A and B are shown apart, each in its own frame.
Chain A
Amino acid sequence: MMLLLLLAAPLSLGLLALALKSQARFLACAAILANLSMTIYAYLTKNQIFRADWLVQWGIQIHLELDGLSFALILTSHAMALLAVWGSARHIKKHHALFYANLLGLLTGIIGILLSFDLLLFFIFWELMIIPIYLACVIWGGAKRYLASMQFLIFTQVSGLIMLVAILSLYFAHFAQSGLYTFDFSKLVTTKLDMTMQLVLLAGFMAAFLVKLPALGFHIWLPTLFEACPLGLILVGIMIKTGAYGIMRFVLPMFPDAVVLVAPFMMFWGGAGIIYGAILAFSQNDIRKILAYATISHMGVVLMALFSQSTFALNGVVILLITEALSTGGLLLLFSRFNHVTLEHLGGLWTSAPKIGSLALCLIMSSVGLPFLGNFVGEYMSLVGIFASSKIAAGVMCLGIILSALYYLRLLQKIFFGALTNSSGIDELNLFQTVIFGGIISLLVFIGLYPAPLLSVLAQTTLLLE
């Protein structure tokens, strides 16, 4: 019941915010905090499973489970949502209430994805999550918003439909074996499939997950969306983790044999993504695009680690996802204070805004993978797993880390050092804002120094690779 409340609370409070109009921001904050505490409460009291019938005649259930993996990612989503509420205040010029309602709707969708253990329910949340992002882009977006929203929706919808077909094929395959119509993941995972079937279904599921990840070739929507939708950025940061989550939760346990077969291919793909993203990030002049391609490059690492067939690396992936969300989200928030988004118009800001500069330096160091900072733990654990399965892949990943230092340092240099351009006015952080960014960084440091609590939470994950 608690878990159902987790879904219902943000949605209903969002609608309330929409109805009240005023106080929407406060309501959104309250809703997220309340939901956060409920999540922790539900996790600590072991109130972790919810089952109810929905459409019995087709075997569709509302089956929610909160295990270590979902718990960690849901906490991160809440933190990101809080940051989004806090950071968006100065950018939202119109439809305030709708923005916060939309944000809460997105949060509901993501919690739904992370909790669903019924494949059809999962699919429904997967598709629904798209609408808030679409609206955010169309209503509050910039110049290229129509193109971006269209690309985004078409990519995600089509890949989603392919996944639906895969889900349904699995459903009928399971029926053929057991005589039971069900979309319940814990039952479907026991279906015995031959190799061809596994490969076909794996391709169907991966289509959806690779688009969300995004992997090389499926990434076209991401830079456009980042460019068009400065506010949506943080929302996208929340959303993007679901692709990796889907692979980890569903693909790896359901198609173990096919995973072994495609692993080298996926690792190659991930490696190509790392290099491609890094090169493009290095050659961009738009901050938003640099961050978009940096994300693509980092997701290459994630894809490699996911298919390295080591539990150690999978844990690393989760830590990487969490720290990546924090560090990139923090950077986005910091950079959203600038009046310009292209590097030509920025420069020498260190003198006028030393606080922003030093905070950005810390976040960038974390993204680059400096030891003692959060991302390092994730990258290290992934690297160990990848090294065990392929040394060449590990080499490529290390190259990716070096390249990330290159493009991030270029970004840092161009913005904060060199000659001060007169057009780059900026207002420095006040104490409260500094504390919040300080909080993000200390969280990263904490994970970097002492990841054990996080790992022990992740150890309580069901159905993660045996």
Chain B
Amino acid sequence: MTSQDIFSLFPFLSVLSTSILVMLYIACHRSHKGVALISIVGLFIAFLSTLSYHEPKILLLLRIDSFSIMLIQGLIITSIITMFFTYEYMKTRREDPEELYLLFLLSTLGSLILAASNNFVSLFLGLELLTIPLYCAIAYTCTDRKSIEAGVKYIILAGLAAALMLFGIALIYAATGTMDFTLLGQSLAKYRYQTSLFLGGVALIFAALSFKISAVPFHLWTPDVYDGAALPATMFLATVSKSASLVVILRLWLIFKPHAMPELFWLLTVLAILSMLVGNLLALKQENIKRLVAYSSIAHFGYLTMAVVAAAQLATQALLLYLVAYVITILIIFGVLMLLEEPHAHINNIADLRGLFKKEPFLACVFMLALLSLMGLPLTALFMAKFLVIMAAIESSLWPLVISLIISSALGIFVYLRVAQHLFGLPDERAYLKRIKPIASAVVALLALCLITLGIWPTPATEHIRTKNTQSLSLK
């Protein structure tokens, strides 16, 4: 390993050292503000170091090319915003908030490794590093029974998924004799593995990853965990964890797909269709806002899986734009909830948002914008992304998927409108005493601005994705 290699690993190292620093700092002195500041600055340094990227490096475990750098940047920014909202949220809580940042930092490191993994070993390590701190983060508010319950549910099912993953990796290794993605691609091109050993391995790996993005039928944990976990953990799970897992699915699909695997194609198609339909169907009558977002996320990851299946040049743009737009929207949704929720007055039901328009017109408008975006109305980012997904699917003639998307969108409108209508209802006696700080409003406004900008003028973003992706693909 040369010094240049180490330099290219700087983003990872800086997140790692930040987490060590945070751990030592907590040991010496408990200060919420200090820990939050160190974490955010540390992540920011990691982000800055990615900007100095100039040439691709393919290491044994990691593949640092323009594409993974782009993903890393996205994950770091999402993590920073999550930590900002966590700070605003945890300020008023009884629990000691410091360790939460440590858990998030480690989890972020896991997601970065996952996004850059070039080997099944790093993939598994990244996945576990992403997941294990999340067990604790989900059960963080340990005075709350629901939180513990969610943590236990997640630990059991995630443990099962990890076992499936390991078994799948072992089977693929047994069939092909390699764990390296580049070598695997070459070996797939040379020999056509259609043995049940190999196919079984692939199926197990995709099952494990489907669990992470909560595709139907691996979705059962989602509503309970979203509902039970502390809001920061939910936000982190819904954005960083899920995006990193989806990116891995895309990466593996791009390796396996050129070698004519109809089985895998059908597997993902069925997963996508089921997720789209079941997710929004289950969200239809949901009264609990967090469970509703959980079910709707299942549907949205169905659309994303659809973009994976359609993976042409356009589909990668569509997929990543959708992911970015979805993450921004979810950050707004959970961000607004975190700003509004008070220690003794949880926002559980959608009826708790009643009259928000009267009390907090600005937050209500941004929340409404996020809902419109989830519905896929034009001039919001998710419309543009959904448009591209449909376009990619039609280009590849994936008609069953297109039809399911239309049905699911119809259900989705019903789901989000039920929330939206409460915003305009008459306020009840419950008052939001919490004062929203200007900086929090500014962050929310910035996110909303991104949402609209991506909806009106997505060209810079899609061109960025396209060029980085082409550079990365030409690297082979």
Contacts and interface: CB of A to CB of B under 8 A. Distances in A.
Contacts of B458: 55
Contact of B394 (A128, A153, A169): A169
A150 B417 contact: yes
Contacts of B421: 138, 146, 149-150
Contacts of A139: 424
Interface string B398-430: 000010011001100110010011001000000
B391 A168 contact: yes
A164 interface: yes
Given A168-B390, A172-B394, A157 B424 contact: no
Contacts of B409: 157-158, 161
B377 interface: yes
Interface residues on A, range: 20 to 34
A162 interface: yes
Interface in A140-167: 146, 149-150, 153-154, 157-158, 161-162, 164-165
B379 interface: yes
A29 B410 CA distance: 36
B463 A138 contact: no
A139 B355 CA distance: 11
Given A55-B458, A131-B372, A150 B394 contact: no
Interface residues of B, number: 26
Contacts of B417: 149-150, 153
Contact of A124 (B379, B390, B405, B406): B379
B144 interface: no
Interface string A33-70: 00000000000000000000001111000000000000
A48 B458 CA distance: 28
A228 to B, nearest CB: 12
B32 to A, nearest CB: 38
Nearest to A123: B378
B221 interface: no
A127 interface: yes
A55 B459 contact: yes
Contacts of B395: 172
A154 B378 contact: no
A148 B383 CA distance: 24
B391 A128 contact: no
A138 B419 CA distance: 13
Nearest to B387: A164
A157 B375 contact: yes
Contacts of A169: 394
A123 B458 CA distance: 17
Contacts of B405: 161
Interface in B68-118: none
A58 B394 CA distance: 14
Given A124-B379, A138-B421, A161-B406, A153 B413 contact: yes
B462 interface: yes
A288 B377 CA distance: 29
A154 to B, nearest CB: 5
Interface string A294-338: 000000000000000000000000000000000000000000000
B159 to A, nearest CB: 40
B124 to A, nearest CB: 38
A158 B391 contact: no
Given A164-B390, A168-B390, A168-B391, A131 B459 contact: no
A138 B424 contact: yes
Interface string A214-242: 00000000000000000000000000000
Contacts of B377: 127-128, 130-131
A57 B462 contact: yes
Contact of B406 (A130, A146, A165): A165
20 contacts: A55-B458, A57-B463, A127-B378, A127-B383, A130-B377, A138-B424, A149-B417, A150-B421, A153-B413, A154-B410, A154-B414, A157-B413, A158-B410, A161-B405, A164-B387, A165-B402, A165-B406, A168-B390, A168-B391, A169-B394
Given A56-B459, A123-B378, A128-B377, 6 more contacts: A55-B459, A124-B378, A128-B378, A146-B421, A157-B410, A172-B394
Interface of B: 372, 375, 377-379, 383, 387, 390-391, 394-395, 402, 405-406, 409-410, 413-414, 417, 420-421, 424, 458-459, 462-463
